[in-house]
Amino acid sequence: MMKALDKRGYILGLIVISIIMLAGAIYAVQIPRKQEIEGKWVSHTREVLAALDTLSKHMTEAETGERGYVLTGDASFLAPYLDAITFIDADVARIETLITDNPVQQARAPSLREDVKNKLDHLREVVDLRQHDGFDAAAKSIATGRGRDLMSSIHRKIEEMRHEEEALLNIRVEKWSSAAALTRMVVLSIGGMVYLLACIIYFNLYQEAKRRQQLAEAEARANAIQRAEAERLANIVTIQREIAAHNMDLAAAMNIISRETQKLTHASGAIVEMLDGDDIVYRAGSGAAAAHVGVRIKAQGSLSGLCMRENHVLRCVDSETDDRVDREACRRVGLRSMVVVPLRHHGKSVGVLKVLSPHTNAFADEAVATLELMAGVLSASISDAITADAIRGANQQLTIANESLVLQKMELESANKLLEGLATTDGLTGLKNHRTFQEQLALEFQRATRHKKPFSLIILDVDYFKKYNDTFGHPAGDAVLKKIGAMLATAARSTDCVARYGGEEFALLLPETDADGAMVIAERVRAAIASAEWEQREITVSVGVSSFAGQKDASELLNAADKALYVSKTNGRNRVSAAARDGIAA
């Protein structure tokens, strides 16, 4: 027997050595070529990412220049606008050229080109209106929100394409790295041949040990299944005893059965449905079905109605292909597969117990058996607790209660939406309030930190505003604040956040805007307010600017802007000061 074993081991060893040597020869030829190809793909993907960033930059520069010209009328702002739009068509064409190898990106490109064209048309329209019809006509065009929506759509699509390319980059870098790993694997495989030959002798012994282990694992699984079955039956008995011991009413029994049935069958929801005339009413539910208690569906044309008519268990593997179900009702509840078991009173079906799942074919035979046992428990409660007249009365009371709950839920949702608006908006100016500003500041700071993108903050304060209020009254002061808020909202880009920081202070968050760009915007806003027509007297503002430069948290950026604002005030007001990393520069 040992001789036969040695012979088999020798032959197997020769086969393994031959395979490893052949694989080593193949890999030695293919690996360098594979590394070169994958390296080119990595470089190509980085080119696509760079082209997307360039398009995003030029779009932002074009919008910034257009807004500067609209607000001030200064033709010098048209220079960056014109420079940017001359590159944009070439940027889009370069992206389309680079993504010819990617069908997913090619499908996105036409929509991106269309949005870019529409956005450039809108920019030209606003500039023409400002040139020929004045600020109010241009501001009215901006206020329609069309340009903001187009810009948001462009940034979103660029971000989607960037995510696609970043995913490809990760895959291609991984492939590039795998070639080197493959080389190491070949070397290790050849070095392991000697070790493999030594292991051949014990191969048969290992196989026998493995077989015994598999038998032991199979026995353990069988024992686990038996224990789970015993536990399931014990749980059902416990539920039955609990209902009987506490003499529960039918509604309480329904709630317990639906809740425990969902747990035992691992369903996303469980429903107790009762027949009410020609309708079926959801009387109790748990999980995903809880929100639909009180819903009525027609018995005719539904799987539950068919279950009651035929008085036996029915299964639906996929509600989208099963003609027995009420497909619209299934979609409202959010189910794709279900099992329905009749609830019987004196042998006649009066309702059903149903479990549901958003996945197709979600319930095994064990779940069906559990559902039948739970339906038996609930059927006993129905037979013991109520007569046919009592069932109808209880159904009417539950319907009224459920309709009241639905109405209360709708009123609560409406109130919550109103409170949400009040909680995020300043009541006087309609701008974002202080709390929303703080949340958006933290979000933009995290984004700038994560993606290494420029980000700036502007804080401005109305000069001598207390004196203005004391002289002309608070209503006049409120009118000034509202007008300044409207001017800031008009000057802001679609990606900016404008907020009333507190009292006579306002703040602007400028994503993807560096220190130079922020200073241009701040000076433009200051000049526009100073030159505007005011009812009582001239209004000016002092402005502080800070930009992201590796600060640890958003509070440092905010403190820097406050200090810059203080410098503007102490140096005579009606001016802009910027915060640098090492100090304040006016």
Can you give the residue ranges of every domain in the chain? Answer: 2-195, 249-408, 434-585
Instruction: Provide CB contacts within 8 A for 547, sequence distance 6+.
Output: 454, 455, 456, 457, 513, 514, 515, 518, 557, 578, 579
Residue written as token pair 């190898």: 101
Token pair, residue 568, equals 């503007």
Q: Is 328 exposed, middle or buried (0-12, 13-18, 19+ CB in 10 A)?
A: exposed
Please say whether the beta carbons of 261 and 274 come within 8 A.
no
Please say whether the beta carbons of 546 and 578 come within 8 A.
yes
Q: How would you list the strands of the sheet with 455-462, edge to edge?
A: 497-502, 505-511, 455-462, 541-547, 576-580, 583-585
Token pair, residue 448, equals 């700038």
Same fold, 249-408 and 434-585: no
Handedness of CA 494, 500, 504, 505 (dihedral sign): negative
DSSP run (H or E) holding 269: strand 269-276
Residue written as token pair 């069932």: 391
473 vs 250, 465, 538, CA distance in Å?
68, 11, 16
Half-sphere exposure of 344 (CA within 13 A, CB side): 13
Domain boundaries 249-408, corresponding CATH code = 3.30.450.40
In angstroms, the CA 372 to CA 215 distance is 33
Q: How would you list the strands of the sheet with 314-316, edge to edge?
A: 296-298, 279-287, 269-276, 348-357, 337-345, 314-316
Q: What is the DSSP string of 414-467?
A: HHHHHHHHHHHB-TTT-SB-HHHHHHHHHHHHHHHHHHT--EEEEEEEETTHHH
pLDDT tens track of the chain, all 586 residues? 545 555 665 676 667 667 767 766 666 566 667 767 777 888 888 999 999 999 899 989 888 988 898 888 888 888 888 888 888 989 999 999 999 989 988 898 899 999 999 989 988 999 999 999 999 988 898 989 888 999 899 999 899 999 988 998 898 888 877 766 776 675 577 667 656 756 766 676 677 788 788 878 888 887 777 787 777 778 887 887 777 766 667 888 888 898 999 889 899 989 999 988 888 888 898 988 787 888 888 888 788 888 988 888 999 999 899 888 888 878 877 788 999 999 998 888 999 999 989 999 988 888 888 889 888 888 888 877 665 555 576 567 767 656 766 676 665 566 556 555 557 889 899 999 999 999 999 999 999 999 999 999 999 999 999 999 999 999 999 999 999 999 999 998 989 999 999 899 999 999 999 999 999 999 999 999 999 999 889 999 999 999 999 899 999 999 999 999 999 999 999 999 998 643 444 3
Half-sphere exposure of 258 (CA within 13 A, CB side): 26
Greatest distance between any 2 Cα atoms in the chain: 114
Closest CA to 202 of 2, 449, 402, 50: 2
Neighbours of 148 (CB within 10 A): 19
Q: What is the pLDDT of residue 431?
A: 94
Phi, psi of 82 (to 5 degrees): -70, -40
Entry pTM: 0.39
In angstroms, the CA 329 to CA 327 distance is 5
Residue count of the chain, please give it: 586
DSSP run (H or E) holding 497: strand 497-502
Handedness of CA 77, 80, 84, 85 (dihedral sign): positive
Domain boundaries 434-585, corresponding CATH code = 3.30.70.270
Please say whether the beta carbons of 338 and 355 come within 8 A.
yes
Please say whether the beta carbons of 507 and 523 come within 8 A.
no
Q: What one-letter code names the amino acid at 486?
A: A
- Helices 515-531 and 474-491, packing angle to 10 deg: 140
Q: What is the pLDDT of residue 12?
A: 67
Please say whether the beta carbons of 99 and 109 come within 8 A.
yes
Q: Is 474 exposed, middle or buried (0-12, 13-18, 19+ CB in 10 A)?
A: exposed
Q: What is the pLDDT of residue 421?
A: 58
Domain boundaries 2-195, corresponding CATH code = 1.20.120
